[in-house]
Chains A and B, each alone.
Chain A
Amino acid sequence: MENEIENTGNVLDKPFKTLEIEETVYNTHYTKKFENRKPYKPADPKMILSYIPGTILKIFVSEGKKMEAGEPILILEAMKMRNIVTIPVAGKLKKIFVKEGDTIPKNFLIAEVE
């Protein structure tokens, strides 16, 4: 049956994509936010990422050091505070990817634990 709609103004002329909800597949358009969503990746506890952009002020340890959980690795200066980044798990600090004076963004890989 043909739709007798004329001149409906805001009809989006782009071709439809598909969206599956509870095993039924619908033809529809996406929102920009939906298209740009990041696929989920579980966090790796062995990779220490920065939680805020900032500057590396001072590094306390060197590569290869065996550390207990909670020991400080370096000072990340951000938001006018000297934030101490600690190692989350016990282990050997395999590699440090930054040096003192570096300015890093958020989610930057600081160090790797073995």
Chain B
Amino acid sequence: MAKIKSYVRPMQGWWRRNPYFVRYMIRESSSVFLAIYAVILLVGLLRLTQGAAAWDGWLAALASPGSIVFHWLALLAVGYHAYTWWKVAPKTAPDIHIGGQPLPELVITGGGWLATLGASILVYVIVRWM
């Protein structure tokens, strides 16, 4: 039997061929930062149950240069996730119609960005002053 269709297109580095795919991979990689951050919070919760000295040790670890660098990178990646999450929301959210008209994409995306801004201010105010 003749060997046919034996060529398999190499996929190595596929996402570097197109800026759209590069942005896709940056967005997906934000989940690695988010997972690590969730584990950092979980460790903080564990230290909190172990008393004041353990908690202060966790705070001291967060102040180390490596931790600060990690959190800056995590902020950039997860911030990009937040930007893109609302950007695609018109395609992923349930259809909302007002007066027979679909809600404009700008309203959904802009509303999401405003919600993130509002939630951020709220969290800051609560942590700082309440």
Question: Are chains A and B native binding partners rather than an unrelated pairing?
Answer: no
